[in-house]
Structure 1
Amino acid sequence: MPGFVLLMRRRNDGDPTMRVGFTVTKKIGNAVVRNRMKRRLRALARDLLPTAGTPGADHVLIGRNGGNERDFALLRTELGKALAKVAR
């Protein structure tokens, strides 16, 4: 997706807990920009992962350049598409 990359890996350990991680590199910008991007990614995960995430899997959201400028509703729909795609 243009605003982020979603990686998902099933743990296959029998634990249905979903775990999530966030990464934003220094290429994106200074600390203020990176923290803003992480806050947006956390809000997206809080909204969508409980319902659309894969139980027993690790989800990692990697912020991409331009993710801060994208509309939040657009990012939300993109995350929904990405979660549906990795669930297959």
Structure 2
Amino acid sequence: MPGESTPPTRAGFVVSKAVGVAVVRNKVKRRLRHLVRERLSELPPGSLVVVRALPGAGDADHAQLAQDLDAAFKRLLSGGAR
């Protein structure tokens, strides 16, 4: 339709109690939000992505989370994701 724009690309986050106590979960969520924000432009417009932190994410540093997220995005964009 004329005048319609593509919806924005959005991301949601799931960080369960298995990741750690509330302080750790919030830290992981902030790090992931920052990392995903930098990568949203790689996704097709209007994409909806859910990032789920696994239990080891609470012990991972920023660089490890970035590396894991990059690997997940690579799988997603190559069609290897479910």
Paired residues of 2:9 and 2:48 also in contact (CA < 8 A): yes
Instruction: Give the structure with the higher percent strand.
Output: 1
Pairing 1:10-21 to 2, within 5 Å after superposition:
15-21=6-12
Q: TM-score, normalised by structure 1?
A: 0.69
Rg comparison, structure with higher value: 2
Unaligned runs of 5+ in 1: 1-13
Judged with a 3 Å threshold, the aligned counterparts in structure 2 of structure 1 residues 68 and 54 are, in CA distance, closer, same or farther, namely: farther
Computed over aligned residues only, the root mean square deviation of the Cα atoms, in angstroms, reads 1.9
Structure with larger RCO (C-alpha < 8 A, sep 6+): 1
Structure 1 segment 31-50 matched on structure 2, within 5 A: 31-50=22-41
1:71 Cα deviation from its structure 2 partner: 2.7
In 1, the alpha carbon distance for the partners of 2:20 and 2:68 equals 22
Structure 1 residues 74 and 28 mapped into 2: Cα distance closer, same or farther (>3 Å)? closer
Bigger helix fraction:
2
Report how many aligned residue pairs link the two structures. Answer: 74
Q: Distance in 2 between matches of 1:24 and 1:80?
A: 18
Fraction of identical pairs, as percent:
39
TM normalised by structure 2 equals 0.73
CA distance in 1 between partners of 2:70 and 2:45 (Å): 15
User: What is the letter of the counterpart of residue 34 of structure 1?
Assistant: R
Between stretches 68-77 and 33-42, larger displacement belongs to 68-77
